[in-house]
């Protein structure tokens, strides 16, 4: 996979276009921010890029890959993605690794300690606070050995220390990746050099 390309891309729900006529290419190793008002389509576009959702018009290509294989190249962290509540922290890492390889230079134990969840290593996720869950989601995505990292409101439910941890993980372990962040919070995407304002691709009214 060399790049992700959108050509004349649009998405609508019923008759309402979320965005339309989007042409853009995401290059490997670059960092992009998707910005725009609530409802502008940031999360929707990230789901399309990840292969979880489809376009209503236009095309998306992932280099030489297709929708059946891109999941091996992409990880995503988002507030709406669920963890397995019955698993412990350790079990969630071990389960995740069956589908996405984790970094070889760090043990799972070291990863758990790094995100401040050492005391919860054997604790079921159902008993986690929302902030603990978000730390875990970020760790699973960032520590995965995948070339593409998608982040949707990555600091949701995090406190000041959580924000600092987020930037530490990005700076140490993710800057070599293609990163796409969907957010309205500058602190979540201040390392991104390129921006897409989805308000530029809104359609007035309910045009078909």
Task: State the average pLDDT over residues 11-17.
Answer: 92
Model pLDDT for residues 153-163, shown as the tens digit of each residue:
999 999 999 99
Q: Which whole-number Å values give the CA distances from 164 to 95, 117, 119, in the listed order?
A: 27, 15, 20
Is pLDDT above 90 for 101?
yes
Model pLDDT for residues 114-149, shown as the tens digit of each residue:
999 999 999 999 999 999 999 999 999 999 999 999
pLDDT at site 207: 53
pLDDT band at 71 (very low <50, low <70, confident <90, very high): confident
Whole-angstrom Cα distance, residue 33 to residue 192?
A: 6
Tokens representing residue 156 in the block: 């949701």
Domains and CATH numbers, the chain: 31-54+68-194 (3.40.50.300)
Whether the Cβ atoms of residue 123 and residue 88 lie closer than 8 Å to each other: yes
Tokens representing residue 192 in the block: 């991104």
């Amino acid at each position: 996979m060399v790049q992700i390309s959108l050509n004349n891309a649009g998405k609508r729900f019923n008759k309402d276009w979320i965005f339309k006529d989007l042409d853009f290419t995401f290059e490997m190793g670059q960092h992009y921010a998707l910005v725009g008002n609530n409802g502008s389509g940031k999360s929707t576009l990230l789901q399309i890029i990840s292969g979880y959702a489809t376009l209503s018009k236009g095309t998306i290509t992932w280099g030489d890959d297709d929708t059946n294989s891109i999941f091996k190249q992409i990880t995503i962290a988002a507030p709406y993605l669920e963890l397995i509540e019955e698993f412990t922290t350790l079990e969630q890492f071990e389960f995740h690794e069956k589908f996405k390889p984790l970094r070889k230079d760090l043990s799972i134990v070291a990863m758990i300690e790094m995100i401040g969840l050492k005391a919860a290593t054997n604790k079921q996720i159902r008993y986690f606070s929302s902030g603990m869950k978000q730390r875990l989601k970020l760790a699973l995505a960032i520590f995965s050995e995948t070339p593409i990292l998608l982040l949707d409101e990555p600091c949701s439910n995090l406190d000041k220390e959580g924000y600092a941890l987020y930037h530490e993980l990005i700076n140490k372990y993710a800057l070599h990746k293609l990163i796409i962040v969907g957010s309205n919070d500058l602190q979540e995407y201040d390392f991104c050099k390129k921006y897409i304002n989805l308000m530029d691709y809104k359609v007035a009214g309910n045009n078909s």
